[in-house]
Structure 1
């Protein structure tokens, strides 16, 4: 399993709405190499932090970061600007952004194996 921590704010929406969007969107490792990389850091369960910052005000963009830690050490992270849908929509509009960031995180982690690099830098 993964310990998931969600923080940040989304244009004044309650944290529960943001949390619901994140829980529905986080991707899990699926490919053989992704699973191999995950199992390298799986004990004890790693900690994933999803942080979303979307200021209040129509037309303002925000950012999303996903960071993975194992045994208290930084493993890998992804950061991206939220898509334009987030400018006027609820947190559910960024489910694709959250999914993409976590898919990229697992893919980048797996690429460490294919390039013979350590999983935890």
Structure 2
């Protein structure tokens, strides 16, 4: 009886550890975005969205990121483009209808923080599937590129 309990406990631990490893591998995955601009950007998606699988949230984020466009934004991006910068987008929305949520975007270049945006999710994004957050992500990333372009236009350094 004792050996059955010991083997059962060992098997349970192995199963739970392998589940944690599989989840960690999924959450650290990066994707290439904006690949038509310089060498592109490496994107990492973090967070949870009301109990939906992380892959659904990642797909929604990938479909909604605004890339730098316009002369000023492209000039600003060029100052941090080599090696390709890294963007981290975190979406947090607790489980439950109408719960508050937030969105955080951080841009890194050469291992240094460049610029970020943070905002609350819109009322529409708080009540729907992860794909409803696409407009919020698009707005926040467009603001990020505009803020970076303004910083460069004012003669400030791209990496503070």
Larger Rg: 2
Residue 36 of structure 1 is aligned with which of 75, 91, 106? 75
Q: Runs of at least 4 residues of structure 1 off by over 3 A? A: none
User: Aligned partners of 1:48, 1:10: CA distance in 2, in Å?
Assistant: 19
In structure 2, the residue matched to 1:118 is: 157
Q: Which consecutive residues of structure 2, in runs of 5 or more, have no partner in the other structure?
A: 1-39
In structure 2, the residue matched to 1:70 is: 109
- CA drift at 1:95: 0.4
How does the TM-score come out when normalised to structure 1? 0.98
CA RMSD in angstroms comes to 0.6
Q: Which consecutive residues of structure 1, in runs of 5 or more, have no partner in the other structure?
A: none
Corresponding position: 1:18 with 2:57: yes
Q: 1 or 2 for the larger relative contact order (CA 8 Å, sep ≥6)?
A: 1
User: Aligned partners of 1:2, 1:14: CA distance in 2, in Å?
Assistant: 24
For these two proteins, the number of residue pairs brought into alignment is 121
In structure 2, the residue matched to 1:99 is: 138
User: Aligned partners of 2:122, 2:71: CA distance in 1, in Å?
Assistant: 30
